[in-house]
Amino acid sequence: MIFNCLLTGIGGQGTVTAARLIGTAATARDFDVKGANTIGVSRRGGSVVSHIRIGENISSPLIPRGEADLIIAFEPAEAVRVHSFLSPTGRVLVLDRGIMPLAVRLGEEHYAAKDMLGYLKTWLYHPSEQRLAQKDGGEWLIVIDTEKLIKKCGGSRLLNTALLGAAIRKKLLPLTEDDLKKAMRELLPPEYIEVNIRSFDAGGDLAG
């Protein structure tokens, strides 16, 4: 069995760090782990997509389209951009606040995060044989209130670990809270460990 997780966001949101934390936690559990990152033209401000594959005998680091079990999105439009990677029974965890591209800030284009979320909801809840066969019913789309999350975790720079906390609390990853916290202690600089663990816990608390 292979669990495929795709993380996506904008440069500077900590997408790659979140993916590394998942990979480190899974490796410590003796899973075979492979992953890859694709980063847009601008390191800060461009699209970032991280593939993480967890399981046994994984041949490729890239998730095939239509096979992601989970998409963790730090921005609604980025979730829409990669939605074709989601499996017929996959789930999406997404922050609800959009990041305005330059063209939108200049008034040249229109972008509303609620439109992106509406598209995802319509697409995800469209009946399919695979979804209807799921016994748990589950939440296909989990939208996290960004402003509430920032207040709980203490700042926008901590949203990546907070969103991982939400994913773990919702049982969307084949890992435990302890797995991720051990990975933080191993991977993060010492001065940032405790604040990120508190952020992780805050995300879990908000997700319920």
pLDDT for position 192? 96
Is the pTM above the cut of 0.85?
A: yes
Fill in the DSSP letter of residue 97: -
Instruction: Provide the token pair at 43.
Output: 């390191």
Top-level class of domain 2-207: alpha beta
| pLDDT in the model for residue 114 | 86
Give residue for tokens 């967890």: 54
For tokens 């663990």, name the residue.
197
DSSP secondary structure string for all residues of 51-76: EEEEESS---SSPPTT-EEEEEESSH
Among candidate residues 68, 48, 55, the one with its CA nearest the CA of residue 8: 48
Query: What single string gives the DSSP state of each residue in 110-173?
Result: ---HHHHHHHHHHHHTS--HHHHH-SS---SEEEE-HHHHHHHHTSGGGHHHHHHHHHHHTT-S
Cα separation, 198 vs 114, in Å, equals: 29
Give the up-direction half-sphere exposure of residue 109: CA atoms within 13 A in the CB hemisphere.
7
* All structural domains of the chain with their residue ranges: 2-207
Q: What does each of the 208 residues of the chain score in pLDDT, given as a tens digit?
A: 899 999 999 888 899 999 999 999 999 999 999 999 887 544 556 789 999 999 998 999 999 999 999 999 999 999 999 999 999 889 999 999 876 554 444 444 555 788 889 989 888 876 566 666 665 556 889 999 999 999 998 888 899 999 999 999 999 999 999 999 999 999 999 999 999 999 999 999 999 8
Question: Locate tokens 């990546």: which residue?
Answer: 160
pLDDT the model gives residue 42: 46
- What is the rounded CA–CA span in Å between residue 151 and residue 163? 13
Handedness of CA 164, 166, 157, 198 (dihedral sign): negative
